[in-house]
Structure 1
Amino acid sequence: MGSLPKDYFVKSLQYTRKTFQDVYPAIDPSSSANSLAGKIAIITGASRGIGARGIAPSLATAGVHGLVLVARDEAKMKEVETEVHRINPKIETLLVALDITDEAAVKQLYTSIRERYGRAADILVANAAVNAATNGGGPVLHEAAVDKWWSNFEINVKGFFILSKYFISSLPTPTSPATIINISTSGAWLVFPITAPYSVSKLASQQWCTHLNAAYKGTLTVVSIHPGLVETDMNADFTDFDLDTPALTGGLCAWVAADPARSEFLSGRVICANWDVEELVARKSDIVAKNELTMDLTGSFGSEQFSAA
């Protein structure tokens, strides 16, 4: 990839005229338009990476009432909690160390949230994910170890399913307004053989979002966000390219969750953090009419195309 321009991963996926690689006014979490006052949010994968450096600080800045940090490393989460309270000392935090593939532990998570806050959470940011290398980084897919290949699905699919299952179950009713944000990747629709199991597992998680939107349309807002190219452990091989800040994704999460009436048209769809949300809103009618920003099978379908003139 050494021959590619530094802005390749922004320009090649460009969908709006303007693109951004850091927080901009429309998604500024300190803006009253993006206020999360009174809301309770859960962030998984909150001990490091985008969760710790971008999403948690942004939701804190947006004034969320309760912030539930979920990860396996409790010590690292305490560091994030310290930063959250530095930003906003009034936030009521809850730290829960668990493995998101452990159904009993996740079920207990939602019991703990109700005990802590007296009600269910409003927002789930499913950020926890794993990109388990399967064959030394080489493209020879059939050489992957089965258990290591499947470990991507344990976290990225099963874990996300369990989290969303009990998140919806914890709501007053399945049709109560709430927001699920799935931190996705361009690998869910692009082809990168060296990360095949990760990419395929993230495609599965995206399709789960599509089905959730279809089942709870109008009440549950389910948006997938491709965070762009952020400097994390997963992107260690891409640091020669222009990098996006973790705060860009964090600000976009606040924008999505702050006003479901504003972002509901994106439910069941994928958006990239680099895109201009104001342009997306301006193109709302066209996006919905053409069913854009969704996964689909391309081709001409329907028996009518074979009918005699």
Structure 2
Amino acid sequence: MESLPPDFWATSRAYTPHIYRDQYPFIDPASSSLSQAGKTIIITGSSAGIGARGIVPAFAKAGPKALVLVARNLAALRTSEAVIMEINPAIEVLLIPTSIADEAAVTNLYATVRTTLGHADVLVNNAGSNADVAMIGESSPAKWWTDFEINVKGTYLMTRGFLQLLGRDQKGTVITMNTELAASVVPSWSAYGVSKIASLRLVEYLAAEYSNVSAVSIQPGVVATDMVGESFKRFAQDTPELVGGMCVWLATDAARFLSGRFVSANWSVDDLQKQKDRILASSDLKVVYAGIFGLDHIKATA
């Protein structure tokens, strides 16, 4: 890690000819093309980090009908609410302190949304855990499993509840925060990496099972938050605004061709749209088990 250049994670995994480390015009959430007018947006992990500094302000600038903020700390949620009111006081804000790994709590969350707002159009699964950075043999089983409780079970429960509220007839969007470590093996990060690849696969299942839902995983780059380990801090040059703008763009119809795929906030959305046909015709940006399989293929290449 020490020998890698500071822009390694942004450049080595580039899929588009252009990459960005900060918000740019195509993902400006105040742009009319990214408008979320009339929509209700649910954002987990909205009291701190990328959620509070990037995703919440971005959706507020996009002018939705309502924002539902979810996290465990009510006082911190009120701080995020104040940010929204400063940007656009016309937005209805619903604060729901919730542990997303608690099934009963998530059920109550969606009951509150249904009673208060009637429906929801977009879910941003931003809450995440990185509880145990350690080699497997030295790891704590309880801490190691915490990442699965939040990153897998919590994401599943929030997504399940959203689908039940949405129904089969209405279009919806589910954006799930992920990480480059879902596609890479970095020693000591097994809990986080393995739980995140499970989350990645969950999004692919969601896209396959629900044609009315655009389901996308997003890698936020490396943003300076409390979850960034010491060894990654020098790579943390991406801004929360970059991630927030990308999430708003992913909630538009222009991004629905990416359903079931894993994208990076660093990639140019203009370039992605130009590569739409290639993406749809391939397994690009999906979990792939590589190799030559099937006896006919093996015999043909022998």
Do the two structures share a fold, i.e. TM-score over 0.5? Answer: yes
Confirm or deny: 8 A CA contact 1:188 1:199 kept in the other structure.
Answer: yes
- 1:18-69 CA-partner distances (Å, limit 9, x unpaired): 1101111111100000000100000000110000000000000000110000
- 1:89-119 CA-partner distances (Å, limit 9, x unpaired): 10000000010011111111111112222x2
Q: Distance in 2 between matches of 1:61 and 1:11?
A: 29
Aligned to 1:222: 215
- 1:164-189 CA-partner distances (Å, limit 9, x unpaired): 11110012x23421000001000111
Q: Distance in 1 between matches of 2:182 and 2:67?
A: 28
Q: 1:242 to 1:113 in 2, by over 3 A?
A: closer
Q: Which runs of 5+ in 1 are unaligned?
A: none
Aligned to 1:146: 141
Q: Distance in 2 between matches of 1:254 and 1:308?
A: 47
Aligned to 1:207: 201
Aligned to 1:64: 64
Partner of residue 170 from structure 2, selected from 173, 176, 184: 176
Partner of residue 246 from structure 1, selected from 237, 240, 248: 240
Aligned length: 300
Q: Distance in 2 between matches of 1:72 and 1:163?
A: 14
TM-score when normalising by structure 1 = 0.94
Please state whether the residue corresponding to 2:188 is helix, strand or coil.
Answer: helix
Q: 1:308 to 1:194 in 2, by over 3 A?
A: closer
Confirm or deny: 8 A CA contact 2:34 2:249 kept in the other structure.
Answer: yes
Confirm or deny: 8 A CA contact 1:175 1:220 kept in the other structure.
Answer: no
Aligned to 1:284: 276
Aligned to 2:121: 122
Report the alpha carbon displacement of residue 225 of structure 1 after superposing the two structures with TM: 0.4
Report the alpha carbon displacement of residue 307 of structure 1 after superposing the two structures with TM: 4.4
Q: Which runs of 5+ in 2 are unaligned?
A: none
Please state whether the residue corresponding to 2:26 is helix, strand or coil.
Answer: helix
Q: Distance in 1 between matches of 2:246 and 2:16?
A: 15
What amino acid sits opposite 1:185 in the alignment? T
Aligned to 1:265: 257
Aligned to 1:44: 44
- RMSD of the TM alignment (CA)? 1.3
